Structure 1
Amino acid sequence: MCPVPAHQTPGVGRVSHVDARIEKVVTSGKVMLDDTEYDIESNTYVVGDDDTVIVIDPAFDAEAILKAVGEREVMAVICTDGRDGHLSAVLEVAEADEEDPAPIALHTRDRLLWRQHFRALANESEDAEFMKDLTPDLDIEDGGVFEIGDAQLEVMHTPGHTPGSICLYSEQLGVLFSGDTLHKGRPGRIGADYPELQEQLNSIGALLGPLPKETRVLPGQGDETTVGEEDSQWESWFALAQEPDES
Protein backbone atom coordinates (compact mmCIF):
# COMPACT_ATOMS: atom_id res chain seq x y z
CA MET A 1 0.00 0.00 0.00
CA CYS A 2 3.01 2.25 -0.42
CA PRO A 3 3.92 4.19 -3.54
CA VAL A 4 5.79 2.13 -6.13
CA PRO A 5 8.75 4.06 -7.57
CA ALA A 6 8.51 5.18 -11.16
CA HIS A 7 9.47 2.63 -13.83
CA GLN A 8 8.87 -0.33 -11.50
CA THR A 9 5.38 -0.95 -12.79
CA PRO A 10 3.78 -4.19 -11.60
CA GLY A 11 1.40 -6.08 -13.84
CA VAL A 12 -2.08 -4.61 -13.90
CA GLY A 13 -5.13 -6.82 -14.28
CA ARG A 14 -8.80 -6.03 -13.90
CA VAL A 15 -10.31 -7.54 -10.76
CA SER A 16 -13.92 -8.53 -10.22
CA HIS A 17 -14.27 -6.69 -6.92
CA VAL A 18 -12.30 -3.80 -5.50
CA ASP A 19 -12.54 -2.60 -1.92
CA ALA A 20 -10.92 0.75 -2.70
CA ARG A 21 -13.38 3.60 -3.17
CA ILE A 22 -13.31 7.25 -4.20
CA GLU A 23 -14.62 10.24 -2.28
CA LYS A 24 -14.73 13.74 -3.75
CA VAL A 25 -14.33 16.90 -1.67
CA VAL A 26 -15.16 20.19 -3.38
CA THR A 27 -13.45 23.28 -1.96
CA SER A 28 -13.28 26.89 -3.10
CA GLY A 29 -10.58 29.51 -3.01
CA LYS A 30 -8.53 32.00 -4.97
CA VAL A 31 -5.53 31.43 -7.24
CA MET A 32 -3.20 33.87 -8.94
CA LEU A 33 -2.24 33.43 -12.57
CA ASP A 34 -0.28 36.04 -14.52
CA ASP A 35 -1.02 38.68 -11.85
CA THR A 36 -4.77 38.03 -12.07
CA GLU A 37 -6.77 36.53 -9.22
CA TYR A 38 -9.43 33.92 -9.99
CA ASP A 39 -12.11 32.35 -7.81
CA ILE A 40 -12.28 28.62 -8.44
CA GLU A 41 -13.86 25.46 -7.08
CA SER A 42 -11.47 22.55 -6.95
CA ASN A 43 -12.02 18.80 -6.65
CA THR A 44 -9.93 16.80 -4.21
CA TYR A 45 -10.16 13.01 -4.38
CA VAL A 46 -9.62 10.66 -1.45
CA VAL A 47 -8.91 7.16 -2.76
CA GLY A 48 -8.57 4.12 -0.52
CA ASP A 49 -10.18 1.51 1.66
CA ASP A 50 -11.15 1.39 5.33
CA ASP A 51 -7.54 1.67 6.51
CA THR A 52 -5.45 3.74 4.12
CA VAL A 53 -5.92 6.43 1.47
CA ILE A 54 -4.11 8.49 -1.12
CA VAL A 55 -5.18 12.13 -1.42
CA ILE A 56 -5.13 13.68 -4.90
CA ASP A 57 -4.89 17.49 -5.26
CA PRO A 58 -5.65 18.77 -1.74
CA ALA A 59 -6.99 22.28 -2.32
CA PHE A 60 -7.91 25.21 -0.06
CA ASP A 61 -9.70 23.52 2.87
CA ALA A 62 -7.54 20.99 4.68
CA GLU A 63 -10.14 20.53 7.42
CA ALA A 64 -12.81 19.39 4.97
CA ILE A 65 -10.39 17.03 3.25
CA LEU A 66 -9.17 15.51 6.50
CA LYS A 67 -12.77 15.03 7.60
CA ALA A 68 -13.24 12.81 4.55
CA VAL A 69 -10.02 10.96 5.39
CA GLY A 70 -11.21 10.34 8.94
CA GLU A 71 -9.06 7.97 10.99
CA ARG A 72 -7.45 6.39 7.94
CA GLU A 73 -3.74 6.69 7.28
CA VAL A 74 -2.68 8.95 4.41
CA MET A 75 -0.09 6.97 2.44
CA ALA A 76 0.70 9.70 -0.11
CA VAL A 77 -0.47 13.09 -1.34
CA ILE A 78 -0.32 13.46 -5.14
CA CYS A 79 -0.43 16.80 -6.95
CA THR A 80 -1.45 16.51 -10.60
CA ASP A 81 0.27 19.82 -11.29
CA GLY A 82 2.23 22.48 -9.44
CA ARG A 83 -0.16 25.41 -9.64
CA ASP A 84 -1.30 27.23 -6.50
CA GLY A 85 -4.69 25.56 -6.23
CA HIS A 86 -3.29 22.05 -6.03
CA LEU A 87 -0.66 23.06 -3.48
CA SER A 88 -2.80 25.22 -1.23
CA ALA A 89 -3.60 22.55 1.39
CA VAL A 90 -0.88 20.04 0.61
CA LEU A 91 1.24 20.57 3.73
CA GLU A 92 -1.67 20.48 6.17
CA VAL A 93 -2.99 17.25 4.71
CA ALA A 94 0.39 15.56 4.38
CA GLU A 95 1.41 16.53 7.91
CA ALA A 96 -1.86 15.75 9.66
CA ASP A 97 0.00 12.93 11.40
CA GLU A 98 2.98 14.88 12.72
CA GLU A 99 4.84 11.74 13.75
CA ASP A 100 4.48 10.06 10.37
CA PRO A 101 3.76 12.62 7.63
CA ALA A 102 2.73 11.37 4.22
CA PRO A 103 5.09 11.88 1.27
CA ILE A 104 4.10 14.56 -1.26
CA ALA A 105 4.46 13.59 -4.92
CA LEU A 106 4.90 15.98 -7.86
CA HIS A 107 6.24 15.60 -11.38
CA THR A 108 9.83 16.79 -11.73
CA ARG A 109 8.95 19.32 -14.44
CA ASP A 110 6.66 21.25 -12.07
CA ARG A 111 9.29 21.82 -9.41
CA LEU A 112 9.71 25.42 -10.57
CA LEU A 113 6.03 26.13 -9.92
CA TRP A 114 6.38 24.47 -6.50
CA ARG A 115 9.34 26.70 -5.61
CA GLN A 116 7.55 29.82 -6.77
CA HIS A 117 4.48 28.99 -4.68
CA PHE A 118 6.27 28.24 -1.44
CA ARG A 119 8.85 31.00 -1.74
CA ALA A 120 6.04 33.50 -2.22
CA LEU A 121 4.43 32.21 0.99
CA ALA A 122 7.78 32.40 2.78
CA ASN A 123 8.18 36.03 1.77
CA GLU A 124 4.79 36.88 3.26
CA SER A 125 5.64 35.78 6.80
CA GLU A 126 8.76 35.29 8.88
CA ASP A 127 7.12 32.21 10.40
CA ALA A 128 7.05 30.64 6.93
CA GLU A 129 10.76 31.09 6.19
CA PHE A 130 11.21 27.30 6.20
CA MET A 131 9.04 27.06 3.08
CA LYS A 132 11.84 28.47 0.92
CA ASP A 133 13.66 25.15 1.17
CA LEU A 134 10.68 22.80 0.87
CA THR A 135 10.85 20.16 -1.83
CA PRO A 136 8.44 17.36 -2.81
CA ASP A 137 9.23 14.00 -1.24
CA LEU A 138 8.61 11.98 -4.39
CA ASP A 139 9.53 12.86 -7.97
CA ILE A 140 6.95 11.10 -10.09
CA GLU A 141 7.37 10.34 -13.76
CA ASP A 142 5.40 8.82 -16.60
CA GLY A 143 4.76 5.12 -16.01
CA GLY A 144 5.10 5.24 -12.23
CA VAL A 145 2.47 3.44 -10.18
CA PHE A 146 0.95 4.10 -6.77
CA GLU A 147 -0.80 1.27 -4.96
CA ILE A 148 -3.59 1.84 -2.48
CA GLY A 149 -5.76 -0.91 -1.05
CA ASP A 150 -6.38 -3.29 -3.93
CA ALA A 151 -6.16 -0.60 -6.63
CA GLN A 152 -3.32 0.92 -8.60
CA LEU A 153 -2.92 4.45 -9.94
CA GLU A 154 -0.73 4.68 -13.03
CA VAL A 155 0.99 8.00 -13.71
CA MET A 156 0.52 9.45 -17.21
CA HIS A 157 2.54 12.57 -18.00
CA THR A 158 0.29 15.04 -19.86
CA PRO A 159 2.20 18.31 -20.38
CA GLY A 160 0.41 21.40 -21.63
CA HIS A 161 -1.55 22.93 -18.77
CA THR A 162 1.80 22.91 -16.98
CA PRO A 163 5.07 21.22 -18.00
CA GLY A 164 4.62 18.59 -15.31
CA SER A 165 0.88 17.99 -15.46
CA ILE A 166 -0.11 14.36 -14.92
CA CYS A 167 -3.20 12.19 -14.95
CA LEU A 168 -3.73 9.04 -12.90
CA TYR A 169 -5.43 5.99 -14.39
CA SER A 170 -6.83 3.09 -12.38
CA GLU A 171 -7.97 0.10 -14.41
CA GLN A 172 -9.36 -1.56 -11.29
CA LEU A 173 -11.54 1.43 -10.41
CA GLY A 174 -12.35 2.27 -14.02
CA VAL A 175 -11.39 5.93 -13.57
CA LEU A 176 -9.03 8.56 -14.89
CA PHE A 177 -8.12 11.39 -12.52
CA SER A 178 -7.45 14.07 -15.12
CA GLY A 179 -6.45 17.02 -12.95
CA ASP A 180 -6.51 20.24 -14.97
CA THR A 181 -5.33 18.53 -18.13
CA LEU A 182 -8.94 17.74 -19.05
CA HIS A 183 -12.23 19.12 -17.76
CA LYS A 184 -15.72 18.12 -18.85
CA GLY A 185 -16.26 19.37 -22.39
CA ARG A 186 -12.89 21.05 -22.97
CA PRO A 187 -9.21 21.11 -22.04
CA GLY A 188 -8.65 22.21 -18.44
CA ARG A 189 -7.70 25.78 -17.71
CA ILE A 190 -7.65 28.51 -15.08
CA GLY A 191 -8.60 31.89 -16.46
CA ALA A 192 -9.08 32.50 -20.16
CA ASP A 193 -5.87 31.27 -21.75
CA TYR A 194 -4.23 27.94 -22.39
CA PRO A 195 -0.47 28.21 -21.78
CA GLU A 196 0.44 25.50 -24.31
CA LEU A 197 -2.80 24.49 -26.02
CA GLN A 198 -1.28 22.44 -28.84
CA GLU A 199 0.83 20.43 -26.40
CA GLN A 200 -2.15 20.00 -24.08
CA LEU A 201 -4.35 18.74 -26.91
CA ASN A 202 -1.66 16.32 -28.03
CA SER A 203 -1.45 15.01 -24.47
CA ILE A 204 -5.22 14.60 -24.28
CA GLY A 205 -5.36 12.76 -27.59
CA ALA A 206 -2.61 10.35 -26.57
CA LEU A 207 -4.30 9.89 -23.20
CA LEU A 208 -7.84 9.16 -24.35
CA GLY A 209 -7.17 6.98 -27.38
CA PRO A 210 -6.10 3.74 -25.64
CA LEU A 211 -8.52 3.89 -22.68
CA PRO A 212 -11.90 2.13 -22.55
CA LYS A 213 -14.65 4.53 -23.62
CA GLU A 214 -16.67 3.86 -20.46
CA THR A 215 -13.83 5.01 -18.19
CA ARG A 216 -15.01 7.71 -15.79
CA VAL A 217 -13.03 10.95 -16.01
CA LEU A 218 -12.74 12.75 -12.67
CA PRO A 219 -11.30 16.25 -13.31
CA GLY A 220 -9.65 18.78 -11.06
CA GLN A 221 -12.60 21.12 -11.51
CA GLY A 222 -16.25 20.62 -12.39
CA ASP A 223 -18.36 17.56 -13.11
CA GLU A 224 -17.19 14.12 -14.11
CA THR A 225 -17.45 12.80 -17.64
CA THR A 226 -16.27 9.74 -19.60
CA VAL A 227 -13.40 8.98 -21.95
CA GLY A 228 -15.84 8.28 -24.79
CA GLU A 229 -17.68 11.57 -24.35
CA GLU A 230 -14.48 13.62 -24.39
CA ASP A 231 -12.75 11.63 -27.13
CA SER A 232 -15.66 12.38 -29.47
CA GLN A 233 -15.05 16.12 -29.04
CA TRP A 234 -11.26 16.19 -29.09
CA GLU A 235 -10.70 17.34 -32.67
CA SER A 236 -13.14 20.24 -32.28
CA TRP A 237 -11.05 21.73 -29.48
CA PHE A 238 -8.30 22.85 -31.83
CA ALA A 239 -10.55 25.80 -32.65
CA LEU A 240 -10.19 27.03 -29.05
CA ALA A 241 -6.98 28.77 -30.05
CA GLN A 242 -9.10 31.21 -32.05
CA GLU A 243 -11.72 31.80 -29.36
CA PRO A 244 -11.94 35.24 -27.72
CA ASP A 245 -11.08 35.49 -24.04
CA GLU A 246 -14.05 34.69 -21.79
CA SER A 247 -12.76 35.64 -18.35
Structure 2
Amino acid sequence: MSTVRVDHLTTSGTFSLDGGTWEVDNNVWIVGDEDEALVVDAAHDADAIARALGGRRLTAIVCTHAHDDHIDAAPALAEATGAPVLLHPDDRPLWDLTHPGRAPDGELADGRTLTVAGTGLTVLHTPGHAPGAVCLYAPALGTVFTGDTLFAGGPGATGRSFSHFPTIIDSIRDRLLTLPPETVVRTGHGESTTIGAEAPHLQEWIDRGH
Protein backbone atom coordinates (compact mmCIF):
# COMPACT_ATOMS: atom_id res chain seq x y z
CA MET A 1 0.00 0.00 0.00
CA SER A 2 1.46 3.35 -1.04
CA THR A 3 1.96 6.10 1.50
CA VAL A 4 -0.51 8.93 1.84
CA ARG A 5 1.11 12.34 1.80
CA VAL A 6 0.13 16.00 1.84
CA ASP A 7 1.50 18.14 -0.99
CA HIS A 8 1.38 21.92 -0.92
CA LEU A 9 1.54 24.62 -3.52
CA THR A 10 1.02 28.36 -3.29
CA THR A 11 -0.95 30.15 -6.00
CA SER A 12 -1.41 33.89 -6.41
CA GLY A 13 -4.32 36.00 -7.57
CA THR A 14 -6.96 38.31 -6.16
CA PHE A 15 -9.77 38.22 -3.62
CA SER A 16 -12.81 40.40 -4.31
CA LEU A 17 -15.84 41.05 -2.11
CA ASP A 18 -18.00 44.03 -1.13
CA GLY A 19 -16.54 46.17 -3.90
CA GLY A 20 -12.87 45.76 -2.96
CA THR A 21 -10.09 43.68 -4.51
CA TRP A 22 -6.89 42.53 -2.83
CA GLU A 23 -3.79 40.64 -4.01
CA VAL A 24 -3.54 37.29 -2.21
CA ASP A 25 -1.41 34.16 -2.02
CA ASN A 26 -3.38 30.99 -1.33
CA ASN A 27 -2.38 27.58 -0.03
CA VAL A 28 -3.59 24.65 -2.12
CA TRP A 29 -3.38 21.28 -0.38
CA ILE A 30 -3.28 17.93 -2.19
CA VAL A 31 -3.91 14.80 -0.11
CA GLY A 32 -3.30 11.38 -1.60
CA ASP A 33 -0.90 8.64 -2.64
CA GLU A 34 0.75 7.74 -5.95
CA ASP A 35 -2.56 6.81 -7.55
CA GLU A 36 -5.27 9.18 -6.39
CA ALA A 37 -5.64 12.51 -4.64
CA LEU A 38 -8.07 15.09 -3.32
CA VAL A 39 -7.58 18.87 -3.64
CA VAL A 40 -8.46 21.28 -0.84
CA ASP A 41 -9.27 24.71 -2.36
CA ALA A 42 -8.61 25.10 -6.09
CA ALA A 43 -7.23 28.62 -5.97
CA HIS A 44 -6.31 30.78 -8.97
CA ASP A 45 -4.41 28.37 -11.24
CA ALA A 46 -6.02 25.15 -12.45
CA ASP A 47 -3.02 24.33 -14.67
CA ALA A 48 -0.53 24.55 -11.79
CA ILE A 49 -2.74 22.35 -9.61
CA ALA A 50 -3.14 19.81 -12.42
CA ARG A 51 0.65 19.72 -12.86
CA ALA A 52 1.09 19.14 -9.12
CA LEU A 53 -1.28 16.17 -9.36
CA GLY A 54 1.18 14.59 -11.76
CA GLY A 55 -1.33 12.38 -13.53
CA ARG A 56 -2.95 11.02 -10.37
CA ARG A 57 -6.71 10.49 -10.43
CA LEU A 58 -8.44 13.41 -8.72
CA THR A 59 -11.33 12.15 -6.59
CA ALA A 60 -12.72 15.50 -5.40
CA ILE A 61 -12.17 19.25 -5.31
CA VAL A 62 -13.16 20.30 -1.80
CA CYS A 63 -13.98 23.95 -1.11
CA THR A 64 -13.40 25.07 2.48
CA HIS A 65 -15.64 28.05 1.66
CA ALA A 66 -16.76 29.99 -1.40
CA HIS A 67 -14.77 33.22 -1.34
CA ASP A 68 -13.60 33.71 -4.90
CA ASP A 69 -9.89 33.26 -4.15
CA HIS A 70 -10.59 29.70 -2.93
CA ILE A 71 -12.88 28.59 -5.78
CA ASP A 72 -11.92 30.59 -8.86
CA ALA A 73 -10.05 27.67 -10.48
CA ALA A 74 -12.45 24.93 -9.34
CA PRO A 75 -14.64 24.64 -12.45
CA ALA A 76 -11.62 24.58 -14.79
CA LEU A 77 -9.90 21.92 -12.67
CA ALA A 78 -13.11 19.89 -12.58
CA GLU A 79 -13.42 20.12 -16.36
CA ALA A 80 -9.80 19.04 -16.83
CA THR A 81 -9.97 16.09 -14.43
CA GLY A 82 -13.61 15.00 -14.20
CA ALA A 83 -13.52 15.43 -10.42
CA PRO A 84 -16.58 16.77 -8.60
CA VAL A 85 -16.54 20.15 -6.84
CA LEU A 86 -17.88 19.83 -3.27
CA LEU A 87 -19.19 22.78 -1.24
CA HIS A 88 -21.30 23.24 1.87
CA PRO A 89 -24.75 24.45 0.72
CA ASP A 90 -24.72 27.42 3.12
CA ASP A 91 -22.03 28.99 0.93
CA ARG A 92 -23.99 28.72 -2.29
CA PRO A 93 -24.83 32.48 -2.31
CA LEU A 94 -21.10 33.29 -2.23
CA TRP A 95 -20.34 30.65 -4.88
CA ASP A 96 -22.96 32.15 -7.20
CA LEU A 97 -21.22 35.54 -7.07
CA THR A 98 -18.19 33.95 -8.77
CA HIS A 99 -19.69 31.13 -10.84
CA PRO A 100 -23.29 32.03 -11.73
CA GLY A 101 -24.93 29.27 -13.72
CA ARG A 102 -22.35 26.63 -12.72
CA ALA A 103 -23.47 24.80 -9.60
CA PRO A 104 -21.12 22.75 -7.42
CA ASP A 105 -21.34 19.03 -8.10
CA GLY A 106 -21.99 17.87 -4.56
CA GLU A 107 -22.69 19.07 -1.04
CA LEU A 108 -20.52 18.85 2.03
CA ALA A 109 -22.29 18.09 5.29
CA ASP A 110 -21.02 18.20 8.86
CA GLY A 111 -19.75 14.79 9.90
CA ARG A 112 -19.39 13.43 6.37
CA THR A 113 -16.14 11.56 5.80
CA LEU A 114 -14.35 11.86 2.47
CA THR A 115 -11.94 9.03 1.75
CA VAL A 116 -8.87 9.28 -0.45
CA ALA A 117 -6.21 6.60 -0.72
CA GLY A 118 -7.77 4.81 2.24
CA THR A 119 -7.53 7.86 4.49
CA GLY A 120 -10.59 9.58 5.95
CA LEU A 121 -11.10 13.34 6.13
CA THR A 122 -14.05 14.33 8.29
CA VAL A 123 -15.99 17.47 7.40
CA LEU A 124 -16.38 19.91 10.30
CA HIS A 125 -18.87 22.70 9.60
CA THR A 126 -17.18 25.80 11.04
CA PRO A 127 -19.21 28.88 10.07
CA GLY A 128 -18.12 32.41 10.86
CA HIS A 129 -15.69 33.49 8.16
CA ALA A 130 -18.39 32.33 5.76
CA PRO A 131 -21.73 30.60 6.47
CA GLY A 132 -20.70 27.34 4.81
CA ALA A 133 -17.07 27.30 5.90
CA VAL A 134 -15.75 23.82 6.67
CA CYS A 135 -12.55 22.29 7.98
CA LEU A 136 -11.31 18.81 7.08
CA TYR A 137 -9.88 16.71 9.90
CA ALA A 138 -7.63 13.79 8.99
CA PRO A 139 -6.82 12.03 12.28
CA ALA A 140 -4.62 9.41 10.59
CA LEU A 141 -2.45 12.23 9.24
CA GLY A 142 -2.57 14.26 12.45
CA THR A 143 -3.75 17.31 10.56
CA VAL A 144 -6.73 19.59 9.98
CA PHE A 145 -7.24 21.76 6.91
CA THR A 146 -8.86 24.95 8.19
CA GLY A 147 -9.27 27.16 5.14
CA ASP A 148 -9.76 30.68 6.48
CA THR A 149 -11.35 29.65 9.81
CA LEU A 150 -8.14 29.42 11.85
CA PHE A 151 -4.68 30.78 11.05
CA ALA A 152 -1.35 30.93 12.81
CA GLY A 153 -2.22 33.79 15.15
CA GLY A 154 -5.98 33.70 15.24
CA PRO A 155 -9.35 33.49 13.52
CA GLY A 156 -10.08 34.36 9.93
CA ALA A 157 -11.45 37.79 9.09
CA THR A 158 -15.09 38.55 9.87
CA GLY A 159 -15.40 42.14 8.69
CA ARG A 160 -17.14 41.49 5.36
CA SER A 161 -20.48 40.25 4.09
CA PHE A 162 -21.64 36.78 5.13
CA SER A 163 -19.25 36.71 8.12
CA HIS A 164 -19.81 36.91 11.89
CA PHE A 165 -17.21 37.14 14.67
CA PRO A 166 -19.06 35.41 17.56
CA THR A 167 -19.87 32.53 15.22
CA ILE A 168 -16.25 31.96 14.16
CA ILE A 169 -15.17 32.02 17.83
CA ASP A 170 -17.79 29.36 18.63
CA SER A 171 -16.63 27.26 15.68
CA ILE A 172 -12.98 27.44 16.69
CA ARG A 173 -13.68 26.78 20.36
CA ASP A 174 -16.11 23.91 19.87
CA ARG A 175 -14.86 22.21 16.70
CA LEU A 176 -11.12 22.91 16.43
CA LEU A 177 -9.61 23.55 19.85
CA THR A 178 -11.10 20.22 21.00
CA LEU A 179 -8.78 18.36 18.59
CA PRO A 180 -5.52 16.87 19.92
CA PRO A 181 -3.01 19.65 20.63
CA GLU A 182 -0.37 18.15 18.35
CA THR A 183 -2.74 18.36 15.35
CA VAL A 184 -1.10 20.33 12.53
CA VAL A 185 -3.28 23.20 11.27
CA ARG A 186 -2.88 23.64 7.52
CA THR A 187 -4.40 27.00 6.64
CA GLY A 188 -5.77 28.74 3.57
CA HIS A 189 -3.08 31.43 3.65
CA GLY A 190 0.29 31.71 5.35
CA GLU A 191 2.16 29.36 7.64
CA SER A 192 0.90 26.19 9.28
CA THR A 193 0.55 25.96 13.06
CA THR A 194 -0.79 23.48 15.64
CA ILE A 195 -3.93 23.34 17.75
CA GLY A 196 -1.75 23.42 20.85
CA ALA A 197 0.00 26.60 19.73
CA GLU A 198 -3.26 28.45 19.10
CA ALA A 199 -5.53 27.18 21.91
CA PRO A 200 -4.06 29.34 24.74
CA HIS A 201 -4.90 32.53 22.83
CA LEU A 202 -8.67 32.12 22.53
CA GLN A 203 -9.50 34.77 25.15
CA GLU A 204 -7.09 37.24 23.55
CA TRP A 205 -8.90 36.83 20.23
CA ILE A 206 -12.27 37.36 21.91
CA ASP A 207 -11.02 40.51 23.64
CA ARG A 208 -9.50 41.78 20.39
CA GLY A 209 -12.67 41.10 18.42
CA HIS A 210 -15.03 43.09 20.58
Return the TM-score normalized by structure 2.
Answer: 0.95
Tell me which of the two structures has the higher relative contact order, counting C-alpha pairs closer than 8 angstroms and 6 or more residues apart: 1
Aligned with 2:103: secondary structure? Answer: coil
Aligned equivalent of 2:22? 38
Report how far residue 86 of structure 1 moved.
Answer: 1.0
Aligned with 1:53: secondary structure? Answer: strand
State yes or no: 1:22 paired with 2:3. no
Q: 1:163 aligns with which of 131, 139, 145?
A: 131
Using the alignment, how far apart are the partners of 2:56 and 2:2 within structure 1?
Answer: 18
Q: What is the percent sequence identity of the aligned residues? A: 38
Number of corresponding residues:
209
| Higher gyration radius (CA) | 1
Aligned equivalent of 2:157? 189
Indicate the RMSD between aligned Cα atoms, in angstroms.
1.6
State yes or no: 1:58 paired with 2:42. yes
Aligned equivalent of 1:126? none
Aligned equivalent of 1:109? 90
Aligned with 1:22: secondary structure? Answer: strand
Using the alignment, how far apart are the partners of 1:140 and 1:239 within structure 2?
Answer: 32
Letter paired with 1:29? G
Report how far residue 118 of structure 1 moved.
Answer: 1.3
Aligned with 1:64: secondary structure? Answer: helix
What stretches of structure 1 move > 4 A for 4+ residues in a row? Answer: none
Structure 2 gap ranges (5+):
none
Structure 1 gap ranges (5+):
1-16, 120-131, 243-247
Q: 2:112 aligns with which of 132, 144, 148?
A: 144
CA contact (8 A) 2:18 2:160 kept: no
Aligned equivalent of 2:171? 203
